[in-house]
A and B are shown apart, each in its own frame.
Chain A
Amino acid sequence: MVIKDKSSAIKYLLIDKLGVSGGCVFIFMFFVLFLLPQHFKQSDVLDLNNFRRIRFDRDAELARRRNPNCSYYDCFNVYKCGNHQNKVTIYVYPLTEFSEEKSKTWISREFYKILKTLINSPYYTANPNEACIFVPSIDMLNQNLIDKNLVSKALASLRYWENGENHILFNMLPGENPDYHTVTDVNTANALIAGAGFDSQTYRYGFDFSIPFYSPMLADYVKITKDGDDKEYFLIAPQLNMYDNHRRMMQEIVLEDSNNNILLLQKCTLEILEDKVSSSPELMKHDIRCTFPGNSPIEYPEILERGTFCLIIRGVRLAQPTLLEAMATNCIPVVVADNIVLPFQEIVDWTLAAVKIREADLHSIKSVLNRISNERIKEMQQQVRFLYDRYFKDIETITLTMLDELNDRVFPHLALPYNAWNLPSMPNSAQNPLFLPVMGSKSQGFTAIILTYDRVDSLFTLMQKLSLVPSLQKILVIWNNQKKQPPNTSSFPKLTKPYKVIQTKSNKLSNRFYPYPEIETEAVLTIDDDITMLTPDELDFGFEVWREFPDRIVGFPSRTHVFENNEWKYESEWTNEISMVLTGAAFHHKYWNYAYTTSMPGNIKDYVDEHMNCEDIAMNFLVSNRTNKPPIKVTPRKKFKCHSRQCTNAEMLSADTNHMLERSECINLFSRIYGTMPLKSVEYRADPVLYRDPFPEKLKRFNDVGSL
């Protein structure tokens, strides 16, 4: 028995071995252990040519029965898991062939892959003394192909078994004729079971792992159609192993279906099968299924690509390989299996990707599916694709997902939250870090941050003006001049509000956005040292508006961006739209300082510091991208003037072409780094409610607004 051609021969053999037929078992046991193709990398532990052999007496000790009451808190020894900070460690027992009088253990290709994945994973340890988790290299995937007694003896003989504590056992086909239990019947004592087809009674929540029933058919399935193409069947019921009553029900539904878009598959007659196979010899038995009625042969699983929904119904077992086959073909699973524990259901939200129908309600499957909107169908298809690619696409991925779930349980403070497990990152979707719908704090007021270089007169004027704003809490002067010391304390104006001068270590624009511990308020006003024309009313009003939008940049000078000649252009004209508010005079939440400093994408932060420009554009990109919201411009446009040549933010005044080009370049560069254009243009600005209304000015709360 020599395997030459991987694709066809292996596929066939795997199906039989994982699944089914008795005739092949012997061949397999032989084949798998000794003749695995050379391209498997062999590590010492899994050396197929060099493994131990252990032979048991008839009365060797058995492992204890599975303890159905185990939970993480009483059967799992958490003390073994503290050796490596924040990561579980997994030890894999070396490959061993256990045998007794009439039988011996063997290993399937799938299980071998699982072990290999474990060994190559970041969780692996070769040292059993520092292991948190132990994985015996005894294949228990298919209960029908193992000698339960022998396996039980083998488990009990393991060196670190200790009644199964912290051992994980993998199983995909539990139970056997006639009871078909939903958990393996092997004695597993206190071991954790990573199994397929649990029901809610046998699954020990928070302890066992629910894994999918891997379909060997997918090993070399290649998708033909693109997503969304050619969904000619509304529903496909592809399984050959339905219960009779379920099949009869589906047959009725098909016959009554006037739209003719439900496809029910059944076993082909031997005649058709042989005919089909002789015409295309690369096909194998399970690849061909026949339609009902009509009995014409169809290739499986490719046919599933043409279904919007695929029925995944329990047979004698709850779990079916059809689930992954449907997901691989991007067909939305309709799961009919009461009390099934779906794969990874403690972390994966199946309601986003699958439909569940009670077995007793199978008759209403059509009306249930018909009520699902087209938009929802599209969303589910996307989600099926996302889940499949991320968690299910092959044995390695499935194993790693299980390990991640395990690690989340042992280190719950590092566990990924719901969104991280279940939401594909979509362009334009936003997870706003400031998501609590509360107003910004009024009592705290705001901290003004003045980035200055050496315009001391203007700085002092600004400080004096700012100190008159009632909601100002404190002024921070960021002294960016490395050649000159800031002026002497005594020369500063006497203010009624506290201020502090911070001498920076280098002249960088990002110093303006550093999350200084001196900032004790939520709100930060960044202001250039020459912006002395804003009135206290305007600043107070700006702060009030910021309180209503504490997640956004709220400020005075605004700009916009336009798309021209295939690239973005910075625009400072008087336009009807704005998409940026310049941080030369704007409020924002202190959190954004932290985000700017620690998590600015790509090299944007360095670029800004190097070019001494565009820090405000960078901040607008950052905030718009994280919140999916535009900034808010307050009050009418003013002439913002720079009084001297050394304006750090020279564009305030100049329409200097070079400067404009640089700014446009920033926008183009940043949008490339983000992979999208996060800025959004809007046509509104915020004014005081009574602005320009014919109403006595002195009764208006903010009346000194908009003077030039």
Chain B
Amino acid sequence: MLNFKNDNNRSKHNDIDDLYETPVNIKNKQNKQNKPNFNNYKTCTMETCFDFTKCYNDFLVYVYPPEPLNSLGAHSPASPNYQKILTAITESRYYTADPDKACIFVLAIDTLDRDSLSEDLVRNVPLRLQRLPYWNNGKNHVIFNLYSGTWPDYQELGLGFDTGQAILAKASMSIQTIRHNFDISIPLFHKHFPQRSGGTGMVTANNFPSNKKHLLAFKGKRYVHGIGSETRNSLFHLHNGRDIVMVTTCRHGKSWRELQDGRCDEDNREYDHYDYETLLQNSTFCLVPRGRRLGSFRFLEALQAGCIPVLLSNSWILPFHPHIDWKQAVIWGDERLLLQIVDVIRSISPSTIMRMRQQSQILWEQYFSSIEKIIFTTFEIIRERIPENPFRNGLTWNTSPGALLTLPTFSDTPQNFPFLLDLFGYQPKENFTAVIFVQIGQTLGPSSALFKLVKSITKSQYVNRILILWASDQKLPPRKKFPSTGHVPLHIVSSLSSPLTYSENDENESRPSISQRFQPHSLIETDAILSLDEDAILNTDEIDFAFNVWKFFPERIVGFPARAHFYDDSKNSWGYTSKWTNYYSIVLTGAAFYHRYYNYVYTNFLSHLLLKTVHQSSNCEDILMNMMVSHITRKPPIKVTQRKAYKDRESVRSPWNDPDHFIQRQSCLNTFAAVFGYMPLLKSNMRLDPVLYKDAVSNLRKKYRHIELIGNR
């Protein structure tokens, strides 16, 4: 028995590693290892250079106040883009004014452009940093930077000051320099980049195969000499003037004439033949070569245009790597193999092209179309690193609607996110919770609308539970006033006692908000919520049919009365109409199914500006819910058949049964659109009816025959 014999010898063999017991002379060196080298934070990791204890309660971001005016009475300089970053943060739900509550600190000092030759350069940063009360050698700080280094070597870490233990959110980072899992690569964006909204993706048609005029295009500067010039100087070899357009110019900078080489004149002639924007629109692939630095504006420009980026920028860490799987949206070229790139591109199949083009748009819209998105994505990446914080998997990051709209705190499985079901082959659960929002609280009796409504719901085979949210000033009626609901549990919950979800800073607004109808109540256990006003008139067939439709569109609002928005050219603003129209874009949440995830998003994610508008007007919560869902899905809601006698909510809903109500809704629409940065509502021309609706067959063959009845019940 060899083994036991050896066992006895083991203690003599400490020099031999042992997997089955810890060598006796080794203690856990964890603490020692955790100290980074003095004055050298090149090896920073989250464990060594970040204080997690500041982040256990909440993930909040503190922004330093503007620096004091200088001796000349002037504000310290901050570029428009840095201003936008700070505004985006302070207007967001990440923001806190209390440094003690903050997990992350953001400087008021503009660090975007650290090229020492730049006019935007802020001077004396080390001195300014010293003055900051919470700097602490950069711990828990995020430093945003677009340009570092300068002629001639463009050093990646040449920021002109010691960033210490701060996390760099920086453009043009390389695989050698980035501190993996610590720094974050962000895209380069130009001076006029929008804070919010931003341009939508330009792919408006998914033609197959791609029908663009050019296969591959590039139009840009070349440098003749120095770092990064080789790649662009060689591009003319690829140009064929037909499907491959590679045009460069050396005509830039003051002294280009002195520096020019033999090709410059010829290049310039060809260069002037093509228009940059037109090339972007008319090419399937766009070359994105490195400039002096690794990143370039054209990366985002190509992405937005749906022109698949072809990278020639060796060792560049693409924005938000590794969360974004760029393999799905770009072609990685290798500068060393420049001349092969055309062959590589010609070998890409049409269906891969279609997939990549779509993915470019998904990524653009989700993470890059505004400064706000870029900043929020940066924060979400940091947040996911904090121990015990839930995180999103790669699929969530790389599919629609993406990480910013998929809140991992809601659930740890895709089964509970309506838009992820298809990808995993899940079905929504087979039943729904009816949530009736009572504001008026009319006397209950067999003839009252609420009483009848509860009866109709009870008869549905899909109902799991009825929840009555009592928001009326009337006293909460006892259970016995409601009809018997058999095996279906009925809960009456006073929503007045429910905690306000947002208005803590707002002393004037102590009354509860109408938004409470969307609170994620713990009694709601089903995927589907049937949201109802107390005066909704629905029969069981209508409910069941709508639910069966919803099951096939769990990511949308599916309901009965619909409304429409339109753009009013005369007023230059959005209009709202409850008239009969040939299309709709809003389905009222007074009678609609939707997924309970949206309650969570509405309450925990929407900007305070939006919720405040709803609160102050005690109105428009349904418009906001519709805009939010359309914002997430990029799809319109769905209207299903309703019986003709259905009373219009606008005409009945008494507390606001006046013209003001209507004007208010119009103004809500415009406020919301401004905060979203665009109009998320989308129009639909169709209504979903039962397959045999009004068909000339016997009523007995129809499953939902009571939908065709006219009258009250």
Question: In the complex, what's the smallest C-beta–C-beta distance from A22 to chain B, in angstroms?
Answer: 4
4 nearest A-B pairs in the assembled complex, by CB-CB distance = A428-B425, A441-B205, A412-B332, A429-B425
Q: Size class of B's contact patch?
A: 35 or more
Contact A576 B691 (CB under 8 A): yes
Q: Which of A73, A360, A628, A636 contacts B315 (CB 8 A)?
A: A73
Binding site for B on A (CB under 8 A): 12, 16, 19-24, 69, 71-74, 78-79, 82, 142-144, 173, 176-178, 180, 200-201, 205-206, 240-246, 267, 270, 273-274, 277, 284-286, 315-317, 320-321, 338-339, 346, 349, 351-352, 357-361, 364, 368, 371-373, 375-376, 379, 412-413, 415-419, 422-423, 426-441, 444, 515, 520-522, 541, 544-545, 548, 550, 558, 574-578, 589-591, 594, 627-630, 633-634, 636-637, 680, 682-695, 699-702, 706, 708
Contact A351 B552 (CB under 8 A): no
Q: What residues of chain B lie closer than 8 Å to A634, measured between beta carbons? A: 686
Asked whether any CB of chain A lies closer than 8 Å to the CB of B581, the reply is: yes
Q: Which of A19, A361, A691 contacts B388 (CB 8 A)?
A: A361
Given A240-B20, A349-B393, A683-B545, A359:B354 Cβ within 8 A: no
Q: Which of B5, B424, B639 contacts A426 (CB 8 A)?
A: B424
Q: What residues of chain A lie closer than 8 Å to B688, measured between beta carbons? A: 684-687
Q: What residues of chain A lie closer than 8 Å to B176, measured between beta carbons? A: 69, 71
Contact A200 B703 (CB under 8 A): no
Given A177-B17, A361-B387, A418-B395, A285:B7 Cβ within 8 A: yes
Question: In the complex, what's the smallest C-beta–C-beta distance from A187 to chain B, in angstroms?
Answer: 20
Q: What residues of chain A lie closer than 8 Å to B156, measured between beta carbons? A: none
Asked whether any CB of chain A lies closer than 8 Å to the CB of B582, the reply is: yes
Q: What residues of chain B lie closer than 8 Å to A79, measured between beta carbons? A: 336
Asked whether any CB of chain A lies closer than 8 Å to the CB of B9, the reply is: yes
Bound-complex Cα distance A177 to B334 (A): 41
Q: What residues of chain B lie closer than 8 Å to A143, measured between beta carbons? A: 17
Asked whether any CB of chain A lies closer than 8 Å to the CB of B446, the reply is: no
Closest residue of chain B to A274 (Cβ to Cβ) is: B4
Q: Which of B180, B387, B685 contacts A689 (CB 8 A)?
A: B685
Question: In the complex, what's the smallest C-beta–C-beta distance from A23 to chain B, in angstroms?
Answer: 4
Given A12-B3, A78-B337, A689:B411 Cβ within 8 A: no
Contact B207 A21 (CB under 8 A): no
For B395-433 the 0/1 string (1 means CB < 8 A from A) is 100111000000000011111100000111110000000
23 A-B residue pairs with CB within 8 Å: A22-B13, A143-B17, A177-B23, A200-B45, A274-B4, A357-B387, A368-B388, A379-B413, A418-B327, A429-B423, A433-B351, A436-B400, A438-B206, A444-B207, A522-B207, A574-B692, A578-B691, A594-B351, A629-B422, A683-B548, A687-B689, A689-B584, A689-B686
Contact A636 B694 (CB under 8 A): yes
Contact B16 A418 (CB under 8 A): no
Bound-complex Cα distance A686 to B552 (A): 14
Contact B391 A694 (CB under 8 A): no
Q: Which of B2, B314, B691, B696 contacts A683 (CB 8 A)?
A: B691
Q: Which of A82, A589, A692 contacts B694 (CB 8 A)?
A: A692
Contact B644 A522 (CB under 8 A): no
Q: Which of B20, B47, B691 contacts A685 (CB 8 A)?
A: B691
Q: What residues of chain A lie closer than 8 Å to B562, measured between beta carbons? A: 689
Contact B19 A684 (CB under 8 A): no
Asked whether any CB of chain A lies closer than 8 Å to the CB of B695, the reply is: yes
Bound-complex Cα distance A72 to B45 (A): 23
Kindly identify, within residues 196 to 224 of chain B, every residue whose CB is under 8 Å from any CB belonging to chain A. 203-209, 211
Q: What residues of chain B lie closer than 8 Å to A630, measured between beta carbons? A: 552
Interface secondary structure of A, over-half rule = loop
Contact A315 B22 (CB under 8 A): yes
Contact A20 B16 (CB under 8 A): yes
Question: In the complex, what's the smallest C-beta–C-beta distance from A90 to chain B, in angstroms?
Answer: 20
Q: Which of B1, B5, B398, B425 contacts A628 (CB 8 A)?
A: B425
Asked whether any CB of chain A lies closer than 8 Å to the CB of B362, the reply is: yes
Contact B686 A686 (CB under 8 A): yes
Contact A205 B695 (CB under 8 A): no
Given A520-B211, A695-B580, A637:B695 Cβ within 8 A: yes
Asked whether any CB of chain A lies closer than 8 Å to the CB of B663, the reply is: no
Contact B695 A636 (CB under 8 A): yes
Contact B636 A435 (CB under 8 A): no
User: Most B CB atoms within 10 A — which of A371, A427, A438, A576?
Assistant: A438
Q: Which of A360, A435, A689 contacts B583 (CB 8 A)?
A: A689
Bound-complex Cα distance A12 to B5 (A): 14
Asked whether any CB of chain A lies closer than 8 Å to the CB of B28, the reply is: yes
Q: What residues of chain A lie closer than 8 Å to B582, measured between beta carbons? A: 688-690, 700-702
Contact A177 B14 (CB under 8 A): yes
Contact B203 A438 (CB under 8 A): yes
Bound-complex Cα distance A271 to B7 (A): 13
Q: What residues of chain B lie closer than 8 Å to A173, measured between beta carbons? A: 17
Q: What residues of chain B lie closer than 8 Å to A427, measured between beta carbons? A: 425
